[in-house]
């Protein structure tokens, strides 16, 4: 199955990871090695066994099956602060945790960074959750644990920082994207 991404630039396509994919990503900074290792060692196993689903950016003519970027998704939850809970849903205030999908991994090969592929991958996640999950299963948010270097990338795309003091001081910050609010904005336009 080839999945459609809303605004992927250039000519790469996005599809589920497959057995013979060439999963050697180049990410530069050694702090990103876990992202490379996950793709090489665990992504296919997790995908096949329904732990976390991985979608890869690949050239349209699959001669080399070279992966240029990927995103991995799994089910999750979020513990929001009172003032960040959904205002229009008074009943939800009773719950400490609310349902979410997590962007567990996201990376674009350094040769293709800053060309819109990362944004395309996030838009794919939003579209998947909004169109395939929320009509059938309660899921209000997309969440991500982001390194400080990528926090601005996510806030630029509409994610909000969870406002606890700890969260802002940690090396990894939790951000969330409110699918319901995004849908309301789309409906109003």
Among 150, 158, 181, 182, binds ligand COA (CB under 6 A): 150
State the nearest-atom distance from the C-beta of 82 to ligand COA, in Å: 26
The strand pairing partners of 15, in sequence order, are 2, 56
Among 115, 127, 158, 160, binds ligand COA (CB under 6 A): 115
Compare residues 18 and 26 and give the one whose CB is closer to ligand COA: 26
Cα dihedral across residues 153, 36, 20, 103: positive or negative:
negative
Distance (Å, whole) CA 126 – CA 141: 9
Contact mark string toward ligand COA, 31..70, x via CB under 6 A: -x--x-----------------------------------
Among 1, 7, 49, 114, binds ligand COA (CB under 6 A): 114
Compare residues 119 and 140 and give the one whose CB is closer to ligand COA: 119
- Of residues 155 through 174, those in contact with ligand COA by CB under 6 A are 156
Distance (Å, whole) CA 43 – CA 49: 10
Tokens matching residue 127: 């579209």
The string over 157-188, giving b where at least 16 C-beta atoms fall within 10 Å of a residue's C-beta and e elsewhere, is eebbbbeeeeeeeeeebbbbbbbebeeeeeee
Chain residues that interact with ligand COA, rule: CB under 6 A: 27, 32, 35, 106-108, 113-119, 144, 146-147, 149-150, 152-153, 156
């Amino acid at each position: 199955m080839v999945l459609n991404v809303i605004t992927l630039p250039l000519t790469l396509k996005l599809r589920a990871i497959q057995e013979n994919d060439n999963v050697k990503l180049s990410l530069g900074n050694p702090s990103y090695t876990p992202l490379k290792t996950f793709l090489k060692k665990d992504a296919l196993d997790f995908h096949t066994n329904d732990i976390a689903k991985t979608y890869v950016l690949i050239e349209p003519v699959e001669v080399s099956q070279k992966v240029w970027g990927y995103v991995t998704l799994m089910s999750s939850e979020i513990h929001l602060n009172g003032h960040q809970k959904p205002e229009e849903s008074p009943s939800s205030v009773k719950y400490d945790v609310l349902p979410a999908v997590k962007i567990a991994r996201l990376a674009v090969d350094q040769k293709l960074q800053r060309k819109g592929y990362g944004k395309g991958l996030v838009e794919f996640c939003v579209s998947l959750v909004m169109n395939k999950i929320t009509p059938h299963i309660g899921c209000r948010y997309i969440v991500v644990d982001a390194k400080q270097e990528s926090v601005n990338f996510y806030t630029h795309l509409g994610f909000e920082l969870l406002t606890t003091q700890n969260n802002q001081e940690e090396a990894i910050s939790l951000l969330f994207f409110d699918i319901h609010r995004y849908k309301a904005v789309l409906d109003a336009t």
